[in-house]
Each structure stands twice: as C-alpha cells, then as structure tokens.
Amino acid sequence: MISCNVFDRSCEKTDHTVITSTMPSVEYYTKLAAEKLHKGQDEDAINSFREAVKCARKLADADVTDKCKINLGTALVQVGRATEGLKVLESVIPSQRDHLLTGDRWYNLCLAHEAIANTVEAKKCIYQAMNCYSKSEHSEAVVLKANAACRCAFLCTELKEFENAAEAYAMAASLYGSANDVPEQAECLFQQARVLGCCEKGDDAIAVADECVKLCTAQPDAAAGK
C-alpha cells in the first residue's frame, strides 16, 4: 500500500506519501508517478519516481530528496518489490526536527517489513511512527497517529498480543474522536471490544461494545458499511 503521507496525503488511511512543489520537474514526475501507479502501470510509476529523485538531487535540497526517496521506497513496496523498497527507505535519514516526515518514514518501513512477513520488526517501526507523530504540530498529525495506532493494533493482533492490541485500538478510537472521524472511531471501538474478548476481559469488552453502540445510535452514519 502506498502511504497517505506521500503523494498527496489523501489516500486511504493505511498508506503514507509526500508531494513536493519546490521544483516544477519534481512535482511533475511525482504527480505523473502517482497517476501511473493508480492505473496499474507499475514500472512506469517507479521510473517516474526515480526521475523525481534525480531532479531533487540537482536541487541539493536534502529535505526534498528525502521526500522523493520515501515516495520511491513506498511505491516499490506497493508494487510487490518490498526488499528494494526497504533498502530505499532505510537510506533516508530525515532531519530530527521534521517529526512528520520521520514518522512517514517509520510508517512505510513498517509496511515494508510487514510485506516480507517480518511482523515483529514491523511493530517496532510503527511504534516509532506513533512517537514521531505525537511530537509533530502539523494539523494532520492526529489522524496520522490514529492511522498508525490502527496498524499497530492489527500487528499486535497478528502476534496474539491482544491486550496491546486493545490499548492501540483504544488510542486510535480516541484520536479519531478528536478528529471528528466518527466512522473510524466506531470501527476501532468495535475492534477493541473484539480483541478484549480474545484476552478474556469480557466485562471490558461489553463496556466498549456498549460505547460503540451508543456512538452508532447517536450518529447512524458511523455504522455505515460496518
């Protein structure tokens, strides 16, 4: 999956990319690559992302280059070339002051490790992403941390760490609530109740399920598609 913090920060919540506008050619190749990827023209998309990296390097701007490399690495993971994507992402060392971009890097490293079935390492990366988003003052940081918390909960569930999964779903639900994303909040509450049942915390599971029902009753749209 591609990352929402990469191309236009508007894809589905489990993905992350970064559009750049410092130089027309960088923006051109980034947009072109995103379009090609959407059309399933994987090789053309990867080539366009590589061109964006080349253009960024000519700027001698480390931040722009880092963003373009994260885009490239993320795209490689999405098209099934996770090992290549992992190497690209690992080569990016963003400024410590750029918490959002650093979070994006960790998020996409998580996806790369997950793609090669390294769930334990993927979980370590997603915790790093959550920590970075917590430090960011960017307007989108709350939702990005919520997305990361959801991914963390999923990974913990895969590892049968049900209590940790429940805690992560609870965090995600709270964050989505802060962002007024009621459907995602309801979904996280539902999943939290489910994993609480898996760790034999029946009373807690019922309480969370009741909270979910109340939320969906108060705002029926929250239950749509769930």
pTM across the whole model: 0.86
Average pLDDT along the chain:
88
Q: Which of 54, 59, 116, 60 is nearest to 71 (CA)?
A: 54
What percent of the chain clears pLDDT 90, i.e. is strictly above it? 77
Residue type, 180: N
Amino acid 9: pLDDT: 39
Q: Rounded to whole angstroms, how far apart are CA atoms 140 and 146? A: 10
Q: Tell me the three state secondary structure of residue 16.
A: strand
Tell me: pLDDT of 24 over 70.
no
Q: pLDDT class for 8, splitting at 50, 70, 90?
A: very low
Q: DSSP characters for 187-206?
A: HHHHHHHHHHHHTT-HHHHH
Q: pLDDT class for 60, splitting at 50, 70, 90?
A: confident
- Give per-residue pLDDT as tens, 143-181: 999 999 999 999 999 999 999 999 999 999 999 999 999
Q: Rounded to whole angstroms, how far apart are CA atoms 125 and 86? A: 12
